[in-house]
Structure 1
């Protein structure tokens, strides 16, 4: 019980100090009110006003130097802000006092005590936020998702937050939370602000905007993790408060939504030229057009835009962003070093044996999983021991599983679902070849992972892939969804051990560019 009380005191020590300091100021206020009313014979509202002004000066001194231990040297400007809050408190005080005395019929001294309680709450909240800036932060991370939810953006935001915490950078993270069981993020918890992601879209966006606005008042920069769900409210807040806005863009959200709804068959490059849609639903088409416009509006008005590849830089420039404001900062590799675990030991751990081919991606229409599955019968003619491992989940999963059943290769294709980094690492070590047949990639984390584990790599020749893979140097580039070319490329690698070794040995020379320190160094240059 004693420990619980101590914990509560420590957690609320500032508010307790505020109440003690405010209590002393209240005694001064109450004493002056009584003296001026009973002995000087002033009307009680005049007495309340005079005592309030004197008390404001006493209270400011106590709260500045004892409660908030504030080092702001612009005392005149700060006191003016404090006084404005006190004046609002005075109006609240006198209004409450008048109502209780004139309408409720309370003795003015009792009414004063009740009014003081209400004013105490107002003064503490407003003083903390607007005068002494106890909750002020340097960087507001306007996120979209956060662990335990899975995905590159969640991992990226988490690693930024960890870095800021370790380096004593003042920050806060906002994000949409879709999980009921919230993971305890340890020391990070007090820096996290969750918005219920299951609320209706207008409501959750409005709440996000309000929370972002309140936490950005004293911030130096807002760093939005996307141009729509976080970037749009961040743009409005930055304009209202005159704050610096940095936006990270890792893809074209409008195009992704159109592809997921099967209202366009255009690739991302064709979409940039003309956003063709075959939907007859007027409202859905307007939604996609709105998303398109928001993306362009945000990057045009942002102070800076961060992209993870030169390919995405070209896309963002096509949206009308100023080239001088767009900075390419490669994402970093964040994998577990499992020491000397052999391929055989790794296969024993995952209980899948043979010559394993691994692909890692969300199961989306443009990720090309269908073609990889459909060429498996031909690949099995080359090597009956081939097995395809598919790591990831997505809306295409059920359809892809039906294709596997129809081809009668359930014992050759394994859907692994979403894997933790530790488990994914073991599957990489158990595999012999890495494939990524994607119709769009900004900059693939999966390719970096495969590089790290020295796998021979075959990827589609689109998007940011050629920035990582040089054909016939550290992997093979193949036309997206061209089944015959993919079969030839796999046959070429599998039939030539010397080629496999050469391709898998070369990637390490490029990985320094993707170090976490390099990413953070370049990111902080922009944020600062």
Structure 2
């Protein structure tokens, strides 16, 4: 069967990007895979093996959606495509539902984010109130749903009474092959003379709740403890976060590094002492898995891989989202207890054995698309 994928991830349009390479690797799952990205960027169609990538073009979001819909409809008729899968349960899913209705093909929705188990996402902006109910309606119309975690599957069943049989959990495959050589390199001899390094790898967006981390880090510093915070990532919140660091008078102890290439990122994992994740919600979360691969102790909120890969207290120190005091206590414990740090790091790395292999992940994709 030929498959059509719809979404808004513009990284897929970038030549040789990780997103494009990942999707190209799915080619053997279907006769052909066609990908339409809703984007203002108009590129010439690209082909990698039996995977074809298109962009909609269009100056505005609504224009891009309309152009993408008609492009997708044309591809379905020309190429006799049998199923459509949307990258999200919102606007992409709405376009996919119209295609299913007008072209009589199978309709799959992918849910990458934990949007529904709590209300943090709904409160981010007023538009999400309407998108929430849009998603509820569309999810019930889908022939199958791919959720990236059991947590998301449970929220869909509990909140919307969606049949468990049509929800297939397909975690995001974690490929550590590019990190393998880097992880075995020892830390520099001068490492023990350096301050304690807390590390964050995240998009600088509201749901990552980085202001809480800055406040907690400031309190930890007030206790006379020498530590630095290194933040890898970019996003709309960067200017606000830099301003908050200045307000808290920790700007000389917090460094915003932007996005780094793989080699530089691995170097940061190697010199770090503890990995932090304070998100309000996560679908899965590759960064904590990478941190575990490097044997780092992890302090995180109870989101994403917490509870599925990492067991609280044993593999990572976890707290409820927005629980600032508990997050501070967990940071202090890791900071002050070397034995605990080593134990958590070892346990987190061992927990990676629970991850599915690439072959197992691909089989679940086939089940989600062809059910």
Q: TM-score, normalised by structure 1?
A: 0.61
Larger Rg: 1
Question: 1:139 corresponds to which residue?
Answer: 3
Cα–Cα, structure 1 residues 346 and 414, in superposed 2: closer, same or farther, change >3 Å? farther
SS in 2 for 1:160: helix
8 Å contact kept, 2:315–2:351 = no
Q: Does structure 1 residue 519 correspond to structure 2 residue 368?
A: no
**Count of equivalent residues:** 360
Shift of 1:454: 1.2
For structure 1, which runs of at least 5 residues remain unmatched after alignment?
A: 1-136, 256-267, 278-283
In 2, Cα distance between equivalents of 1:367 and 1:214: 39
Q: Does structure 1 residue 307 correspond to structure 2 residue 167?
A: no
Shift of 1:190: 7.2
Cα–Cα, structure 1 residues 510 and 521, in superposed 2: closer, same or farther, change >3 Å? farther
Q: Does structure 1 residue 390 correspond to structure 2 residue 217?
A: no
In 1, Cα distance between equivalents of 2:201 and 2:103: 42
8 Å contact kept, 1:391–1:416 = yes
For structure 2, which runs of at least 5 residues remain unmatched after alignment?
A: none
SS in 2 for 1:387: strand
8 Å contact kept, 1:469–1:476 = no
SS in 2 for 1:338: helix
8 Å contact kept, 1:307–1:329 = yes
SS in 1 for 2:188: helix
Question: 2:75 corresponds to which residue?
Answer: 215
Cα–Cα, structure 1 residues 288 and 187, in superposed 2: closer, same or farther, change >3 Å? closer
Q: Does structure 1 residue 201 correspond to structure 2 residue 45?
A: no
Alignment of 1:375-386 (within 5 A): 375-380=216-221, 384-386=225-227
Bigger relative CO (Cα 8 Å, ≥ 6 apart): 2
SS in 2 for 1:269: coil
Question: 1:232 corresponds to which residue?
Answer: 94
Question: 2:53 corresponds to which residue?
Answer: 192
Question: 2:327 corresponds to which residue?
Answer: 486
Could you give the per-residue CA deviations for residues 188-242 of structure 1, whole angstroms, max 9, x where no partner exists? 697111112x522332111111111122231122121111232111111012221
Shift of 1:463: 5.6
Could you give the per-residue CA deviations for residues 368-397 of structure 1, whole angstroms, max 9, x where no partner exists? 211211222332356754110112222221
Shift of 1:167: 6.7
Question: 1:72 corresponds to which residue?
Answer: none
Question: 1:444 corresponds to which residue?
Answer: 285
8 Å contact kept, 2:6–2:86 = yes
Cα–Cα, structure 1 residues 370 and 383, in superposed 2: closer, same or farther, change >3 Å? same
Cα–Cα, structure 1 residues 252 and 488, in superposed 2: closer, same or farther, change >3 Å? closer
Alignment of 1:72-471 (within 5 A): 138-147=2-11, 155=18, 158-164=21-27, 169-178=31-40, 187=48, 191-196=52-57, 199-217=59-77, 218-251=80-113, 269-270=118-119, 287-317=127-157, 318-335=159-176, 336=178, 337-339=180-182, 340-344=184-188, 354-380=195-221, 384-462=225-303, 465-471=306-312
**Structure richer in strand, relative to its length:** 2
Shift of 1:252: 6.0
Shift of 1:452: 1.5
SS in 2 for 1:415: strand
Q: TM-score, normalised by structure 2?
A: 0.85
SS in 2 for 1:300: helix
Question: 1:472 corresponds to which residue?
Answer: 313
In 1, Cα distance between equivalents of 2:218 and 2:38: 43
